[in-house]
Amino acid sequence: MKIFIIPLLLLSAFASTAQVIVTPQWQRTGVLQKQQLWNMLLTNTGQGTVNGHLEVVLADIVTGQPILTGIGKAFAVAPGNMQVNATLMEPVQYIQMDASYVIEPGPNGFLPLGTFSVCISYFSHVHDAVDQLAEECDFIEVEPLSPPQLVLPWNESQELQNTPSFTWLPPAPTGFFSNLRYDIDVAEINPGQSGADAIQDNIPLLHQTQLVQTYLLYPTGSPPLQVGKEYAWRITATSNGSVVSRSEIWTFSLVSENDLPRIKTNNLPYVKLVKEELPAYSLQADYLKFDYVNEAADSSWNITLYDLTSGNNDSIPFRWDTIPVKYGQNLVNIDLTEDNSLIHQHFYLLELRNSLHEIWRMRFEFRRKENENNQ
CATH of the domain at 44: 2.60.40
Q: Both 110 and 18 in a single domain?
A: yes
Secondary structure letter of residue 220 according to DSSP: T
Statement to judge: residues 265 and 286 lie in one domain = yes
Helix locations, the chain, DSSP H? 2-17, 86-89, 195-201, 369-373
- Residues 106, 117: one domain? yes
pLDDT above 60: residue 147:
yes
- Domain match, 318 and 213 both: no
One domain for residues 358 and 333: yes
Residue 71 pLDDT > 90: yes
- CA dist 2 and 171 (Å) reads 68
Q: Are 234 and 187 in contact (CB under 8 A)?
A: no
Is 142:128 a contact under the CB 8 Å cutoff?
no
252 and 269 together in one domain: no
Strand pairing class (281-285; 250-254): unpaired
Please state the pTM of the whole predicted model: 0.46
Question: Does 19 share its domain with 53?
Answer: yes
List the domain range (segments joined by +) for residue 247.
149-258
Task: Answer for the pair 294, 354: CB distance below 8 angstroms, yes or no.
Answer: yes
The helix or strand, by DSSP H or E, that contains position 304, with its residue range, turns out to be strand 303-307
The tally of domains found in the chain comes to 3
Q: Do 38 and 15 share a domain, yes or no?
A: yes
Query: Which pLDDT value is given to residue 83?
Result: 93
Asked whether residue 49 carries a pLDDT value surpassing 60, the answer given is yes
pLDDT band at 5 (very low <50, low <70, confident <90, very high): very low
| Residue 286 sits in the same domain as residue 250 | no
End of a domain among 125, 142, 159? 142
Same-domain status, 76 and 153: no
Residue 141 has pLDDT above 60, yes or no: yes
How do beta strands 242-246 and 206-211 pair? unpaired
Residue that finishes a domain, picked among 258, 287, 312: 258
Q: Which of 246, 353, 233, 225 is nearest to 300 (CA)?
A: 353
Of 168, 162, 181, 278, the closest CA to residue 231 belongs to 162
What single letter denotes the amino acid at residue 324? P
Q: What is the pLDDT of residue 162?
A: 82
- 316 and 300 part of one domain: yes
